[in-house]
Each structure stands twice: as structure tokens, then as C-alpha cells.
Structure 1
Amino acid sequence: MTSHATVLLHPGFRVGSIDRRMFGTLIEHLGRAVYTGIFEPDHPTADEHGFRGDVAALTAELGITIARYPGGNFVSSYVWEDGVGPDRPPVLDLAWRTVEPNTVGTDEFLQWAERTGIEPMLAVNLGTRGVDAAAALVEYCNGAAGTRWADLRIANGRERPYGVRLWCLGNEMDGPWQIGHKSADEYGRLAAEAGKAMKRVDPSIELVACGSSSMEMPTFGAWEQTVLEHTWDVVDHVSMHAYYQEHDGDRASFLASGTAADRFIRRVVASADAVAARKQSDRRLTISFDEWNVWYLSRFPGETNLPLQRDAPRIIEDVYSALDAVVVGDLLVTLLNHADRVPLACLAQLVNVIAPIMTEPGGPAWRQPTFHPFATTARLAQGEALDVRVFGPTTATARHGEVPVVTAAATIDGQSVAVFLVNRGTEEIEVAIDHPGASLTLTTGHQLTADDEPARPGPEHAEAITAEHLRTIDLGGARQDDRTTIVLPPESWTAVSSVMTS
């Protein structure tokens, strides 16, 4: 028997504008993310600067708008001066126990970002370094001629300032795995002073304070409140990081990862708003969800168990299934529904390392299944997020309790309306989309169904998954005055485009 759900939307009820920076990524000096990922001078598609053209083309197709760099854990022992100018010493990266050649550094990354039309988001080292190094990097990137670090940039061949707007004050400083790990008080004081100095160099920049590395951290909540008490007058955003995987065959909980992300966002917002209340402030601090993805952490031995490696080793190269892609689609629904408080988000990472794009040295670049819901959502989700309501069945999960079977988000941009739907259940479900006040003419739809096959590496397998599980829906251009009905297959993600005619 087919079950039923209703999604109610109205063009007058809106969450807020969709900041295009929601569709960001992370490029960290980790494994093959940089070397043989975005950068491979001997590759047949490499440009004159050594960056792969095939990866740049897929990055544009994916819809990436911002890129966080150079980490990630890598940044917490990074000496940025080692990666600029003619003298590039190879160093031991303490985060991933890899020899970093420093061939790619700040200038190379920022110029790649310019060429690809991506806004950079730089992180500063608040693990082993501090105020001076952070302020100096802002001056190097954004300063006008006539001061020490700006003149060094010019001497290195870049006359015009880069104008980097987004800056992260360290990375995951609540985590004991982090080089330079600190208590909330220690980090909060340092972040406030570093941020103050950075904004004196360039008052136009936006700063992100480190929030919790996951909702499961024992310091979660208390960390945010302590850090924001110190940094309230300096920072513009607080970060959150979350990764999801299927645990011990618990498919139902995995498919409900969007519910966990929703709870995480709501709790970070509550922590920030509590600080605002205590400070009698009207500021509504926003979130930078600058690491999120499906990551099978259970397969990773941990940083301390990695052998010392050279030459861009293959680390954390998860191979994704169509099931993983449906979960990514569900997480994107959650982000859209919090557009008013989550202007920044980064799918971690871009290439090879838990990534939607994979490469082989000297060989092809290809799309993993997770590529497709992200690219479609980035393309269709324009304008403002609508405040949708879902009425339908729920299901019990071991990790998240009772969760809705159907999740939905919708966006509106002029006359264009996009609706994103996920069926987390094991049976097909008929969804009635009620849209009083707007007649919709359906145009196109995209549907991705989960699989039961174990993921296997290689472009051929990725293409086979796409061919079998991703399809375009023929909606026939039908006009729907008040209600649109669509059937969602079991364990599926769907995106529907339409034009509002009244």
C-alpha cells in the first residue's frame, strides 16, 4: 500500500535569502586533495600554472562558490610563510604525518580561486601560532603597497591585493586531536585578540570562530557559549562540523542524518542566542557549517596511527554509493531550511578526500554519486528559501528517535520555484505538494534512488551507479493550480523545477 504525505508551501512565507556561499567546499593539504587533485603540472589538461583543467571544469559544474583553505587539521601547525616566495622548504605536516613540499601555497591557491571564479575562505593557524602570524597573513593578502607583508606579496609577483573577505580563526580547536588544542577559555581569548588584530589590518573582513567539531563532543554547547562570550564583538559567524555514516548496518538512522544536522544547527543557534540575551545584544550571529559530508570514520585508523608518508598519499579516499548520495541530498534539504542562520557551508572536501570528484594521476577525473544532488541543488536553489511544512508518517530510528519519513525544502527566485524532497522510508510514498496562492507549471525533475550494492572505486562504477539510480523525470509541463502530486520511490532524493504562473 502506498502511503501519503503533504508538503505545504506558499510564496509569501519565507525563511530567508539563500547566500550562494552555502555551496562551498574545503581544499586541505591532506592526501591527494591538492597534489594530483587540483594541482598536477604534468597532467594533459593542466594549465600554465599546473592546475588540472578537468578538475576545474567539474568544480564549475558542481557549483562551488567558496573554498576553505588550507585546512582542516593541516592549518594548526602550518607556517604560511613557507608556502610563499621562491624558497619553499619541505616540512613535516604534523596533522597527517605527511611531508608537505609547499609547492602550492597562498598565492597559488588564491590565483586558482580567481581563475575558477571561487571566493576564497582562508584559515589562520591558532594552534602553534597566534596574533602576529594571523595579522601578517591578512596584510600579505589584502594590504596596499608600502608595508612589510604587502610588499613581500608584491615582490612575489602579485601587485594587486587579493581582497580575501572570509577568514577562519583556526580549526576544530576543541578537539584533542588538533595540534595546539585549547580549552574554550584559552581559545576564546586568543581568537578574540587575533580577530581584533586582523580587523585592524582590514576592517572589511568576516571572521569565523571555531565552534564544536561535532554535536557529540563532551564540551558541546558550553564551548560555544564560552568562546562567544570572548569573541562576541569581533566575530561574524561560529563554525560547526559534522560527518555522517552508516553504523553497523543501521540504514534507517543513516538516512535520517538530516534530522541530526537539523538538531545540531538548532542547538548552536540556541547557544549563540543565549549569549546575545546575556549581552542584551540584538545581533543574530550566523553559522558557518564549514565541514559536512558523509565520511566513514570507522574505516579511518586515526591521525596518530598513520605512517610517515610522502608524495601525496592516498588517505581517506571514501568511495560513495547512491545511498550516500541520497543522504547528501537530505543534508542539503536541512541547509536550505536554515538559510536564515546558515549563510556559509562547505562540503568537505572537493577532490579525492571524502570528495564528490575523484582523479587518477595522469588519468581521468570523474564524478562520484554524491556529486549529483549537490550540483543539482546548487543550480536550482536560487533566491529565497520558502518556509515549508511537511505532514506525513514518521519512523523510529535507533540513533535519532522518531523522525519524519519525508523531508522537503523549497526555493523561489522570481517566478521560478524549486522543490527538494527526500523519502527516507523503505516504501514508495505519494506526496501532495499544496501551493495555495501559486499555480505552478512543472518543467523538469531529477530523481536519485538509493542502492544496496557496496561502493567500488573507479569511474566505470560511478558511471554505472549514475546510469542506474539517477534519472530525469518527465513532468510534461503540466499546470497545477493548487496541488502537485508526485510519487517518491523508496529511499530517494528528488528535485523538481517549476514556474509560478500566478
Structure 2
Amino acid sequence: MTKKAKMILEKDFKIAEIDNRIYGSFIEHLGRAVYGGIYEPGHPDADEKGFRKDVTGLIKELQVPLIRYPGGNFVSGYNWEDGVGPVESRPRRLELAWRTTEPNVVGTNEFMEWAKQAGAEVNMAVNLGTRGIDAARNLVEYCNHDSGSYYSDLRISHGYREPHKIKTWCLGNEMDGPWQIGHKTAAEYGRIAQEAAKVMKWVDPDIELVACGSSNRSMPTFAEWEATVLDHTYDHVEYISLHQYYGNHSNDISNYLALSLEMDDFISSVVSIADYIKAKKRSKKKIHLSFDEWNVWYHSREADKLIEPWTVAPPQLEDIYNFEDALLVGCMLITMLKHADRVKIACLAQLVNVIAPIMTEENGPAWKQTIFYPYMHASVYGRGVALNPIISSPKYDSKDFTDVPTLESTAVYNEENEELTIFAVNRDLQDGLLLECDIRNFEGYKVVEHIVLENDDIKQTNSAKTEAVKPHTNGDASLRDGALYAMLPKLSWNVIRLAK
């Protein structure tokens, strides 16, 4: 018997306008993300500055609106001054977070120039581990002040007359983690973040700031950390961050694909904490969420133990993703869209080579991992208003979850372009799922295409030589009598595009 799911879509059932920064990403000075990733002088496809045009082209294909930089754990030991000025004068440093050597060939100005080529804004992180208030305000002055001060004139002397005008800034990284250089208690971090935020905005009142939330939901200080940090920083920041990575450690795909339910609960929990502090302070201001690290990460952990310390840009965190990973990434994207009223920024971590949708070979090609596709589809077709669909779906139980919906889905309405896009994952291991969607409210709309990502082998991967996991447009979505009907193949990611 064919399993069925039903959905009702109404134009007025709105969650929120989607902030395009929800499709952001992240490049840290880690592994081959920068050196050998976006930057490889001497590569046949490198530009005059040494940046790989083939990599930039793939990033443009993803339409990445925002890139977090330069870390990550790296930023908690980083002196930003090491990465500006004449390259030949820059120091080589022992990079303690990842036990490598940082040559500082690429720094703030080079990255800002490259990001502009890639069509992305930068979400700049400041070091609140080994540095603090002074270094943070100086970096804002260097990047954003026009001229006539020490650090703005220093930037100009380095060849950058126009200020970078960076809008979004992270106040450190994962400061709750004992692995972090300069790890702090919630109260210690809350105080320094508050004071750094205050003076950074004195330098440039137009910037937006992200306070560090917990490194992940399983941290023993979770919830109490967020409450304490927001108690200190509430009046000075716009966002609190969330970080979360998942992996199929027990090789149980039913349970693995249900992990987005945990992500959903994580988001709801942080919203509740933020609103508790809002109530406590009797504030009219609403804190939004920046999910500025999220992805699948578990394939490369054993290989990383074998890396020789103090080398430059070793192959670290190079997860090779399979088909089931792409399905979970799709579910995670849908989950964030369901919270578009509060999740305004998100960064897939990371963008190139390091737990990334794009991989490169030295002097060779750049290629797309399996997770490239759901990320690209959401970014390209998921611009507009997130709708709140009414869904009726079969459910299943797994090891850690009950009532997992077989259909994971949401929809985005772009009124300006008169487009409607349905994103859907069928979690069923054996059977296709017949989706019936009531779209009477979208009179005159036609199916443009039904994109499907499917594969008979859930462990199938892509490589530089073979793209075994890639989407096709042979989905069978069709309209009749004000309803959309589509067969969603077993274990599949689907993008159904309609337009007037």
C-alpha cells in the first residue's frame, strides 16, 4: 500500500520573511580551507592574487550571502595585526587551536577582497580568548572607519582606501568550551563581551553583534550559559549563537535522519531562554539567533589524529560526505526555515575542504560533495517568505525519537517573483511517499520542475572523478483540481518549484 502525506499551503500562513543570511557559510584558518582551498597561487585557475577562480565559481553557484571568518577556534589565539600590511613582513605563528603553523599570507584585507569577488558579505569574529576589548575596537576601526584615525589610516597605508564596512561581528567563539584558548565562565565571558560590544558600537554604531551561545546543546552549562551571557549583553547585541554537528555514529539511518528534531528543539530552547531574559529585563527588544556553525561532522575524526603537528594547511576535518548525509543536511535546512522568525543568520560549517560542500585537489579540480545540492537548492530557491504548512504525515519511532514524521517539509513563497517552492525529505527507508498538497490559494500556478536527489546506496559518495550523487529533474509533480500531487521516492530530497 502506498503511504500518503497531506499538506495545506496558504499565502497568509506566514512564519516570517527569510533573512538571506540564513544561507551563510564559514571559512576558518583551519586545514585546507584557506591555503589549498580558496587560495592556491600557481594553480592553473588561480587569479593574479592567488585565489582559485574555479572554487569561487562554485561558491557563486551556491549564492552564499555571508561568510563567517577567520574562526572558529582559530580566532581565540589570533592577532589580527599579523594578517595586515606587507606580506613579506608578516610573522609565522604556531597556531595552537589546531596545532599547525599559520603563515599569515591571507589576512583581513585579502579575505575581504576575495569575499567581494564571491558575492558574499563577511561575518567577522574578534578574539576574546587571548585578546579583548582593545583589539576588538581597533579591528572595527581598521575595517569600518573612513579615515583620519590611526587604524583607519593604517588600512589606507596598506592599499585599501575605502573602508570594508563589515556589518556583522561575532564576539569570540565557543568560549564555554575547555578546548578554547582563553576559555571562560559564563559570567567572565558575559562581562568581556558586554564591554567589547559597547566600545565596538561606539566606533561604529551601525554594526550588529553576535554573542557566543553554547558550543553545542550537550554542554553541561547549556541554558544557564545562555541566560547568564544574555543577562550581561542583552542591551548590546542582536544575536545569540548556536553550534551543532551531527554524525551517524551508530550506523542507524532511521535515527540519524531524525536528528533534525533535536535541532528543532535546540532552537526552541534558545528562543525560550532569550525571551526569558527579555521578560526579566522588561525589554521591548527581541534577540534573534545566529546558527553560525551547523553540519554533519564525524567521518574524518580518526584521520585527524594522524596529522603531523606544526605543518602548514594539513588536510584536517576532510569529511567525505555520502548520500545519507545530504538527506540530513536537507532536513536541517528545512528545520531552520521553520524558525525563520528567529533564526536570521546561519553558517554551514565550513565552505571548502574542511567539513565542506566543496572539495579541491592541489593543482587539480574542485568538485561538489553530496551535501552541495540541498544547500544550493535552499539558497537559490529558498528566498522569500517562509510559510507554515499544515502537514499530516505517517510517523515512525527510532532509537532516540518517537513520532518522527516520514515527511520533513516546508515551503517558501516569493511574492515578488510569483514563485512557490516546496522542500521535502522522505525519510522512509523502503517506500515512496505520495504527497498531496492543497494549493488552491495559489491560483494560476504551474509546476516548473520537480528536482529529486536520490540514490540506491545510502553510503554513496562523490569524488573529483565521479559524481555519483547528483540531482535529476524527473520528479512527477503535477497539478489537478487545486491540488499538487507528487511521489517522493524513498530516502529522497525533493524541490518542487511552482510559478504563476
TM-score, normalising length: structure 1: 0.95
Moved more, 127-136 or 247-256: 247-256
Moved more, 442-451 or 213-222: 442-451
Contact 1:322 1:451 in 2 (8 A): no
Quote the Cα distance in structure 2 between the aligned partners of 1:453 and 1:386.
30
Question: Could you tell me which residue of structure 2 aligns to residue 334 of structure 1?
Answer: 335
Choose the corresponding residue for 1:425, options 416, 428, 449. 428
Contact 1:225 1:275 in 2 (8 A): yes
Q: For structure 2, list consecutive stretches of 5 or more residues without a partner in the other structure.
A: none
- Which aligned pairs between 1:174-253 and structure 2 lie closer than 5 A? 174-253=176-255
Please say if 1:442 is aligned against 2:443: no
* Change over 3 Å in CA distance of 1:168–1:300 after alignment to 2: farther
Contact 2:40 2:46 in 1 (8 A): yes
Question: Could you tell me which residue of structure 2 aligns to residue 74 of structure 1?
Answer: 74
Contact 1:326 1:449 in 2 (8 A): no
Moved more, 390-399 or 150-159: 390-399
Matched residue type, 1:278: K
Choose the corresponding residue for 2:168, options 141, 166, 169. 166
Moved more, 276-285 or 191-200: 276-285
Please say if 1:411 is aligned against 2:412: yes
Tell me the alpha carbon deviations over residues 257-316 of structure 1, each in whole angstroms, 9 at most, x when there is no partner: 22111111101101101111111112221000000111116835778x864131310111
Question: Could you tell me which residue of structure 2 aligns to residue 13 of structure 1?
Answer: 13
Matched residue type, 1:430: L
Q: For structure 1, list consecutive stretches of 5 or more residues without a partner in the other structure.
A: none
Matched residue type, 2:364: G
- Which aligned pairs between 1:481-492 and structure 2 lie closer than 5 A? 481-492=481-492
Please say if 1:276 is aligned against 2:274: no
Quote the Cα distance in structure 2 between the aligned partners of 1:418 and 1:18.
13
Moved more, 202-211 or 255-264: 255-264
Contact 1:239 1:287 in 2 (8 A): yes
Contact 2:304 2:316 in 1 (8 A): no
Instruction: Compute the RMSD of aligned alpha carbons.
Output: 1.6
Tell me the alpha carbon deviations over residues 178-199 of structure 1, each in whole angstroms, 9 at most, x when there is no partner: 1111111000001000000100
Please say if 1:368 is aligned against 2:369: yes
Quote the Cα distance in structure 1 between the aligned partners of 2:304 and 2:397.
32
The alpha carbon displacement at 1:451 in A equals: 4.6
The alpha carbon displacement at 1:436 in A equals: 3.3
Contact 1:32 1:315 in 2 (8 A): yes
The alpha carbon displacement at 1:355 in A equals: 0.4
Question: Could you tell me which residue of structure 2 aligns to residue 40 of structure 1?
Answer: 40
Overall identity of the aligned pairs, in %: 49
Please say if 1:379 is aligned against 2:380: yes
Matched residue type, 1:127: G
Tell me the alpha carbon deviations over residues 134-171 of structure 1, each in whole angstroms, 9 at most, x when there is no partner: 00000000012111111110111101100000000000
The alpha carbon displacement at 1:114 in A equals: 1.4
Please say if 1:295 is aligned against 2:275: no
Tell me the alpha carbon deviations over residues 318-343 of structure 1, each in whole angstroms, 9 at most, x when there is no partner: 00111111111111111111111111
The alpha carbon displacement at 1:474 in A equals: 5.1
Question: 1:21 is paired with a residue of what secondary structure?
Answer: helix
Question: Could you tell me which residue of structure 2 aligns to residue 31 of structure 1?
Answer: 31
Please say if 1:325 is aligned against 2:326: yes
Quote the Cα distance in structure 1 between the aligned partners of 2:175 and 2:480.
51
Quote the Cα distance in structure 1 between the aligned partners of 2:241 and 2:216.
10
Matched residue type, 2:420: V
Quote the Cα distance in structure 1 between the aligned partners of 2:461 and 2:16.
40
Tell me the alpha carbon deviations over residues 103-142 of structure 1, each in whole angstroms, 9 at most, x when there is no partner: 0000100111112221011000001110000000000000
Moved more, 122-131 or 291-300: 291-300
Tell me the alpha carbon deviations over residues 33-64 of structure 1, each in whole angstroms, 9 at most, x when there is no partner: 00010001111111111100000000000121
TM-score, normalising length: structure 2: 0.96
Quote the Cα distance in structure 2 between the aligned partners of 1:358 and 1:408.
28
Question: 1:313 is paired with a residue of what secondary structure?
Answer: coil
Question: Could you tell me which residue of structure 1 aligns to residue 58 of structure 2?
Answer: 58
Contact 1:4 1:429 in 2 (8 A): yes
Matched residue type, 1:422: V
Quote the Cα distance in structure 2 between the aligned partners of 1:236 and 1:372.
31
Tell me the alpha carbon deviations over residues 81-110 of structure 1, each in whole angstroms, 9 at most, x when there is no partner: 001002210001110000000000001001
Please say if 1:464 is aligned against 2:465: no
The alpha carbon displacement at 1:448 in A equals: 1.1
Matched residue type, 2:419: S
Choose the corresponding residue for 1:136, options 138, 145, 159. 138
Contact 1:443 1:475 in 2 (8 A): no
Tell me the alpha carbon deviations over residues 183-233 of structure 1, each in whole angstroms, 9 at most, x when there is no partner: 110000010000001000000000000001111111111111100000000
Contact 2:369 2:462 in 1 (8 A): no
Quote the Cα distance in structure 2 between the aligned partners of 1:311 and 1:257.
35
Quote the Cα distance in structure 2 between the aligned partners of 1:35 and 1:351.
10
* Change over 3 Å in CA distance of 1:297–1:178 after alignment to 2: farther
Choose the corresponding residue for 2:159, options 145, 157, 160. 157
Matched residue type, 2:366: A
The alpha carbon displacement at 1:479 in A equals: 4.4
Question: 1:444 is paired with a residue of what secondary structure?
Answer: strand
Question: 1:186 is paired with a residue of what secondary structure?
Answer: helix
Contact 1:96 1:306 in 2 (8 A): no
The alpha carbon displacement at 1:455 in A equals: 4.8
The alpha carbon displacement at 1:423 in A equals: 0.9
Quote the Cα distance in structure 1 between the aligned partners of 2:187 and 2:159.
40
Contact 1:120 1:166 in 2 (8 A): yes
